[in-house]
Structure 1
């Protein structure tokens, strides 16, 4: 399912966003600031020998003398100082993924020889984690879910998404407009300069690959070695990226169904792939009529597909997903069930937005690129998708809070430059989809 290929990118030079010197633009104090490293106050990072710091950046780069915000970073220093190449920033994806711990993953995936030559830098992008996290106090976990099976469910989705947007505008105010990929790229360049480097290397995964591509477009002379793993198509970002998830996840569901059918003696969900799929679709229809009780939670047709979605990321989770569907089927048959902790936590997050919702993710998606605002446009796409994508088409084409968001302050970034980069992609990838 995941045959990985590596290709060299040829991406085109575009003008940098910041013109003139940092001093001329009023950004000199940010580029020349002292960075004070301390213990991270986190068991995993401190045990690994990492240090943490905060870098001050302008909230609005058009008003550098105005409000500021802090971006939290972490560091594992190069041990081969004789051959040190510089700093390597990283991002795990999202949008909204916290990145302070990601450098531990990055180091673990490198040979010791390579890892020893870089100061590995993790980062919580602005509006995420320790970097003044956006929190709109949503009643659900995220804006990405299925509208259900009928027009009534879709009308409820429209009302809910409008409410999510209103909550963010009310609670976060004007700050939320500045939580964007372009500003995160600008923050990366401030971090580079504040650490005394003329260039930075970078490893980004999924959305992190898009952030890296935007950085190369805005700062084409500041990139050293750039690796974009599981890259989104910048031309489709972000509404196209979400819509493209429908077909690949539907195909992954078929693969999983066949795998599960071969193990019917264990999971009892059907002896053929079509039987297993039919069982899943039947559970979704049942949940639309009467939500299925899983422990303390009621699982309906909006969120049941999302629990499948979370585990279709990798075929190695097939058994975990089959056991979860078996549990849901038992509950649907009236048996009392108790979810494992990971399932219970996921249900609580999706259904209540606790302990923290993903409104920071929405801020980036909605602030990066304009989307259609007519609810009927989404409904037509949902209806067209149902025949070939009965489980994930409605989710992938659903309206989001972005349709009710304030318009982005900047246009979507057109990535067209010749900064060398290594792009790593996989076949059958269910997340970082592309055209």
Structure 2
């Protein structure tokens, strides 16, 4: 999931049946000698980005043409948008560094503007930093299902009737996506994005790519190394997804670390009861917070023009809990919800207003149906609602607030079958994996899992820090030194390394 935003997030059984005849079970992608030559050798026309920050930074942008369906390279095409911050010293230039911010569904055109702030001059001298909106996202043939909400991620609620409503809602989102986007959805996938990256490589005249990815971007990067190992140069995967647990299990893994983060935050808030008045002990703070979900189940909590129900309230906590530096935002959100639940008129703070607006009032630039297209298009999920309900019931004791969120049924349960089998990642391509032990979105064990299957990798652990996305987001001298050293001269740490907060 993307580090800086809500993990922004389909096809019903009838549509799945309709598409089944047109979906290729495991199409063989065309090779450069089998129809991709015109894409790898296309002319790239650089131009201003029409993006204030990128243009002010001197970046250039271009559209790179790729096949919609790599099994039919002479068929319909789309374009993917890329940006370039040129290497500052042509004499030291090594090549290009592609990137992805996560999500899936995060637009990445401007990602490297922020990430390069953590890079040393020796690194920025060596690489053209390439931002990219993946297919189906941002400026790259965006998927827009016209949903009434910004994300498919919601909680199932407190009881069976609430779960049944959640399942009906998920099926409705899937149906709407199918009706709006049709068969194009089956071509929005991680494997196709990896192929797009390789077309970008070829179009820019490079033999290899280096790469930096956050969150889901680590899965994309790992898939690229599996599909194109000889074209992979220096790879950094920050806040990693275990590819063996990608999709359904990855989401189920969210429950435990978010409950732990809630406990950690509750202790923080209890120590500041004089300011927030949420409870004098962590137990009292947690009881108040869990009680708000029960209140929202009985009657949605009114915050300004918004009605926060039991399905959305956990999402509003999930967003800021990913970073301990936002503990005050969590406390403010809970205080506002508690006041509103007591009948007080509350106008949401700017931070809370932004999250509410994303959930309830998405626009063309913030809606995240592209996330569903990628996740649901990558891997099939169980179709029986009862399997989700059983998982939710089993999770309630250990995950009272986030179990129903992590185990909820998604539109993927009503989606058409994926066009290809999931990628099995297991290779010796060298890579540097960076992982915080307190990560709530890609738990620490997930980074360890990627390290195990990428046998040439080294793992940098950021110990006892609750944050998602480290390099370029959370200043840490030890982790930054490891990443910069690797990008500068290709030297991985001799052994796995543990870093602590500065």
Query: Which TM-score bucket, shorter chain as reference?
Result: over 0.9
SS at match of 2:66: strand
Counterpart residue number, 1:129: 138
SS at match of 1:235: helix
SS at match of 1:203: strand
> Conserved in 2, the CA contact under 8 Å of 1:179 and 1:364?
yes
Counterpart residue number, 2:177: 168
> Conserved in 2, the CA contact under 8 Å of 1:181 and 1:368?
yes
Please give the alpha-carbon distance, in whole angstroms, between the structure 2 residues aligned to 1:341 and 1:312: 17
Which of 410, 429, 447 is the matching residue for 1:400? 410
Which of 293, 297, 307 is the matching residue for 1:298? 307
Counterpart residue number, 1:79: 88
Counterpart residue number, 2:401: 391
SS at match of 2:149: coil
SS at match of 2:245: coil
- Following superposition of structure 1 onto structure 2, how do residues 66-145 of structure 1 map, counting pairs within 5 Å? 66-145=75-154
Counterpart residue number, 1:218: 227
Matched, 1:431 2:441: yes
SS at match of 2:211: strand
Please give the alpha-carbon distance, in whole angstroms, between the structure 2 residues aligned to 1:388 and 1:84: 52
Deviation at 1:18, TM superposition (A): 4.9
> Conserved in 2, the CA contact under 8 Å of 1:260 and 1:273?
yes
Please give the alpha-carbon distance, in whole angstroms, between the structure 1 residues aligned to 2:278 and 2:354: 25
Which of 183, 187, 211 is the matching residue for 2:196? 187
SS at match of 2:225: helix
Please give the alpha-carbon distance, in whole angstroms, between the structure 2 residues aligned to 1:118 and 1:361: 29
Please give the alpha-carbon distance, in whole angstroms, between the structure 2 residues aligned to 1:395 and 1:158: 13
Please give the alpha-carbon distance, in whole angstroms, between the structure 2 residues aligned to 1:33 and 1:200: 18
Please give the alpha-carbon distance, in whole angstroms, between the structure 2 residues aligned to 1:98 and 1:430: 21
**Structure 1 stretch 48-57 or stretch 141-150: which is displaced more?**
141-150
SS at match of 2:65: strand
Please give the alpha-carbon distance, in whole angstroms, between the structure 2 residues aligned to 1:341 and 1:403: 35
Show structure 1 runs of 4+ deviating over 3 A.
352-356
Counterpart residue number, 2:205: 196
Please give the alpha-carbon distance, in whole angstroms, between the structure 1 residues aligned to 2:135 and 2:184: 11
Deviation at 1:370, TM superposition (A): 1.0
User: Which structure carries more relative contact order (alpha carbon 8 Å, separation 6+)?
Assistant: 1
> Conserved in 1, the CA contact under 8 Å of 2:329 and 2:351?
no
> Conserved in 1, the CA contact under 8 Å of 2:149 and 2:358?
yes
CA deviation digits over 1:276-303, x for unaligned, max 9? Answer: 0000011110010111110100001110
List runs of 5+ in structure 1 lacking aligned partners: 1-16
CA RMSD of aligned residues (A): 1.1
> Conserved in 2, the CA contact under 8 Å of 1:84 and 1:118?
yes
Deviation at 1:357, TM superposition (A): 2.0
> Conserved in 1, the CA contact under 8 Å of 2:293 and 2:310?
yes
> Conserved in 2, the CA contact under 8 Å of 1:348 and 1:354?
no
Which of 280, 284, 303 is the matching residue for 1:275? 284
> Conserved in 1, the CA contact under 8 Å of 2:379 and 2:422?
yes
Deviation at 1:106, TM superposition (A): 2.1
Which of 420, 423, 428 is the matching residue for 1:410? 420
Matched, 1:378 2:388: yes
Which of 303, 313, 316 is the matching residue for 2:325? 316
Matched, 1:241 2:250: yes
Deviation at 1:352, TM superposition (A): 3.7
Deviation at 1:79, TM superposition (A): 1.5
List runs of 5+ in structure 2 lacking aligned partners: 1-27, 450-502
Matched, 1:32 2:41: yes
Aligned residues: 417
Matched, 1:288 2:297: yes
Please give the alpha-carbon distance, in whole angstroms, between the structure 2 residues aligned to 1:353 and 1:211: 26
CA deviation digits over 1:261-290, x for unaligned, max 9? Answer: 011000000000010000001111001011
Please give the alpha-carbon distance, in whole angstroms, between the structure 1 residues aligned to 2:333 and 2:174: 32
Please give the alpha-carbon distance, in whole angstroms, between the structure 1 residues aligned to 2:362 and 2:99: 27
> Conserved in 1, the CA contact under 8 Å of 2:29 and 2:70?
no
Please give the alpha-carbon distance, in whole angstroms, between the structure 2 residues aligned to 1:229 and 1:211: 12
After TM superposition, the score normalised by the length of structure 2 is 0.82
Counterpart residue number, 1:340: 349
